[in-house]
């Protein structure tokens, strides 16, 4: 494809992402997951090393955001969202270019792009769908021509994906492995082993920033391996949720829009594995060659099915669904007959409708315009005017008041377990490495945390006891019982208003 085609796709992608950013870039704030990324990006921009100096995702995404923080000269929540939107534009451009392979209609591509950008949710997780779409293009690129340079380039991308998220690197290793097997089976058996070695070399080169961190940052590799070992022993990569299959929905408690939204989500959960497995098997078994774009989308979809089902909620579905969206768009272009354009338009219209009533209703802009009694107000966070709901604004005000009223010079405030966003809002650094305390912790690590709390002179604690996902075993007193006991024995409850009923303010007891 020529440069002009890429420029047009980039323009469409930039326009779609830009419109969405203008509508909701300053709307809402997430006190949990978004702050997990925001806090870490700020610390990275200040010179700390992700995962070693603070709890984090894989380092690549923090260095990406920190780079844009330096370019913008700003570390606000809006700068974070802008940095993510730029990566979103890149990912969406590659996704549009996959669809361009099967149509010259830019109108169709724009229509498909609207659906794809709506599924790029939530906004603090835009690396995930972007990586999957880039991966589809890179595998399609390899399926079209098995040159040495394309194997190397494919491996390079896999390594970069792993630097941004080791799980995404693993998904791409699986997807490319399926693609390479497919090439060996159906297209080209010549020098396959050498090509695999070249692809592997690309992976190492792409992952070299991470390898450099292993080699140059003392203690990093040991900490990383310990984390991997803990993950393998626990057997958990996430907090699992039951799959919301369509037949499990209790329609009696929902209005019509909610019912259709839940039904749509359930249908999408059905379609993700059906399309990925079905097309993948057909590609390998059929005597006919399958379209490279469709094959690539199904191969990526196969690995990302795990991501969707590992924690089966709308957010994780959205982060894994782009291969399915692309496959449906591509298959609609293969329809034949006199009314094939009408049929394609109907399929995309239904897909857009299901998108709007499922993930579309979750977007911050939709939440704002449909809120009752004008519940959103203008609120300044880090000198940036945001439009947030009054409940969140009131909560932030209360936490600010606690910090300004009670926390003295030289004292530290610790906030647990699920509000990491409060640290950058307050301009504070977490006294602990842990900023988001979800999983049960070992006694040894809890004792180390208690030592650190004492060393950091933590005199004040805002502590929640939340039954996450309705599970009592995920309450802080059950995931971190020794720290809970330390707080009970060494701190006293200070009565304050404005905190949620399951949160309390604690102050250390003077000896």
275 lies in the same domain as 402? no
How many structural domains are present in the chain?
Answer: 2
- Does residue 372 lie within any of the structural domains? no
Q: Which of 428, 361, 503, 419 is nearest to 29 (CA)?
A: 419
Residuewise pLDDT in 10s, the chain (511 residues): 689 999 999 999 999 999 999 999 999 999 999 999 999 999 999 999 999 999 999 999 999 999 999 999 999 999 999 999 999 999 999 999 999 999 999 999 999 999 999 999 999 999 999 999 999 999 999 999 999 999 999 999 999 999 999 999 999 999 999 999 999 999 988 888 999 999 999 999 999 999 999 999 998 988 888 777 776 665 556 788 899 999 988 878 788 888 999 999 999 999 999 999 999 898 888 888 899 999 999 999 999 999 999 999 999 999 999 999 999 999 999 887 777 888 888 999 999 999 999 999 999 999 999 988 768 999 999 889 999 999 999 999 999 999 999 999 999 999 999 999 999 999 999 999 999 998 899 999 999 999 999 999 999 999 999 988 889 999 999 999 999 999 999 999 999 988 998 999 999 997 6
According to DSSP, the residues that pair with 463 across neighbouring strands are: 416, 504
Assess whether 335 and 397 both reside in one domain: no
Domain encompassing residue 398? 390-508
Asked if 333 and 452 sit in the same domain, the reply is no
Asked whether residue 26 is assigned to any structural domain, the reply reads: yes
pLDDT value for 233: 62
Q: Tens digit of pLDDT for each residue in 99-143?
A: 999 999 999 999 999 999 999 999 999 999 999 999 999 999 999
Residue 261 inside a domain? The answer is yes
Same domain? For 448 and 320 the reply is: no
Residues 318 and 408 in one domain: no
- Domain membership of residue 379 (yes or no) is no
Quick count: other Cβ atoms within 10 Å of Cβ 212?
Answer: 10
Any domain includes 489? yes
Of 365, 382, 404, which residue sits at a domain end?
Answer: 365
Domain match, 265 and 119 both: yes
pLDDT of residue 203: 97
The residue among 240, 305, 308, 241 whose CA lies nearest residue 279 is 305
Residue 128 CB-density burial (10 A; 0-12 exposed, 13-18 middle, 19+ buried) = buried
Which of 318, 348, 365 is where one domain is finished?
A: 365
Count of Cβ atoms closer than 10 Å to residue 440 Cβ: 14
Q: What is the pLDDT of residue 235?
A: 56
Do residues 359 and 394 both lie within one domain?
A: no
Q: Which tokens hold the place of 311?
A: 């924690």
| DSSP letter, residue 252 | G
d(CA 52, CA 45): 14
Question: What SS3 class is residue 337?
Answer: coil
Per-residue pLDDT, 219:
87
* 299 within some domain: yes
The tokens describing 332, both together, are 């609609």
Asked if 147 and 16 sit in the same domain, the reply is yes
**385 domain residue, yes or no:** no
Residue 492 β-bridge partners: 507
Is 407 found in the same domain as 456?
A: yes
Residue 151 maps to a domain: yes
Among residues 182, 119, 500, the alpha carbon closest in space to that of 323 is found at 119
Co-location of 308 and 188 in the same domain = yes
Q: Is the CB of residue 20 less than 8 Å from the CB of residue 73?
A: no
31 and 95 fall within a common domain? yes
Sheet with 458-464: list strands edge to edge: 412-416, 458-464, 503-508, 491-494
Residue 277 sits in the same domain as residue 402: no
Sign of CA dihedral 194, 197, 199, 205: negative
């Amino acid at each position: 494809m020529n440069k002009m085609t890429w420029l047009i796709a980039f323009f469409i992608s930039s326009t779609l992402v830009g419109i969405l950013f203008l509508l909701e870039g300053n709307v809402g704030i997430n006190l949990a997951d978004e702050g997990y990324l925001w806090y870490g990006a700020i610390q990275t921009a200040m010179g700390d090393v992700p995962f070693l100096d603070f709890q984090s995702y894989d380092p690549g995404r923090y260095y990406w955001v920190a780079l844009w923080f330096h370019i913008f000269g700003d570390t606000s929540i809006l700068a974070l969202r802008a940095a993510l939107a730029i990566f979103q534009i890149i990912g969406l451009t590659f996704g549009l270019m996959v669809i361009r392979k099967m149509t010259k209609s830019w109108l169709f591509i724009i229509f498909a792009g609207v659906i794809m950008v709506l599924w790029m949710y939530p906004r603090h997780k835009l690396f995930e769908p972007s990586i999957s779409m880039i991966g589809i293009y890179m595998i399609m690129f390899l399926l079209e021509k098995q040159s040495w340079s394309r194997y190397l380039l494919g491996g390079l991308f896999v390594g970069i994906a792993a630097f941004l998220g080791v799980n995404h690197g693993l998904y791409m290793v699986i997807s490319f492995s399926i693609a390479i097997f497919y090439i060996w089976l159906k297209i080209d058996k010549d020098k396959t082993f050498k090509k695999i070695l070249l692809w592997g070399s690309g992976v190492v080169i792409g992952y070299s920033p991470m390898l450099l961190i292993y080699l140059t940052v003392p203690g990093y590799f040991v900490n990383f391996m310990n984390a991997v070992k803990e993950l393998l022993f626990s057997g958990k990569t996430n907090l699992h949720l039951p799959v919301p299959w369509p037949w499990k929905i209790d329609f009696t408690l929902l209005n019509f829009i909610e019912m259709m939204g839940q039904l749509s989500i359930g249908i999408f959960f059905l379609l993700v594995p059906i399309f990925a497995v079905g097309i993948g098997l057909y590609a390998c078994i059929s005597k006919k060659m399958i379209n490279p774009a469709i094959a690539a989308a199904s191969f990526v979809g196969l690995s990302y099915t795990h991501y969707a089902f590992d924690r089966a909620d709308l957010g994780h579905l959205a982060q894994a669904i782009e291969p399915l969206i692309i496959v449906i768009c591509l298959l609609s272009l293969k329809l034949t007959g006199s009314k094939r354009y009408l049929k394609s338009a109907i399929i995309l219209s239904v897909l857009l409708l299901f998108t709007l009533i499922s993930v579309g209703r979750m977007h911050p802009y939709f939440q704002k315009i449909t809120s009752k009694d004008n519940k959103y107000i203008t609120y300044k966070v880090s000198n940036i005017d945001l439009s947030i709901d009054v409940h969140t604004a009131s909560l932030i005000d209360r936490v600010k008041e606690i910090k300004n009223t009670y926390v003295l010079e030289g004292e530290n405030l610790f906030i647990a377990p699920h509000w990491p966003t409060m640290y950058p809002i307050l301009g504070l650094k977490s006294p602990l490495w842990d900023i988001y305390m979800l999983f049960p912790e070992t006694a040894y690590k809890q004792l180390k945390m208690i030592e650190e709390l004492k060393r950091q002179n933590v005199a004040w604690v805002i502590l929640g006891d939340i039954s996450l996902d309705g599970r009592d075993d995920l309450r802080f007193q059950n995931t971190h019982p020794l720290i809970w006991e330390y707080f009970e024995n060494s701190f006293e409850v200070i009565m304050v208003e404005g905190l949620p009923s399951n949160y309390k303010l604690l102050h250390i007891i003077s000896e």
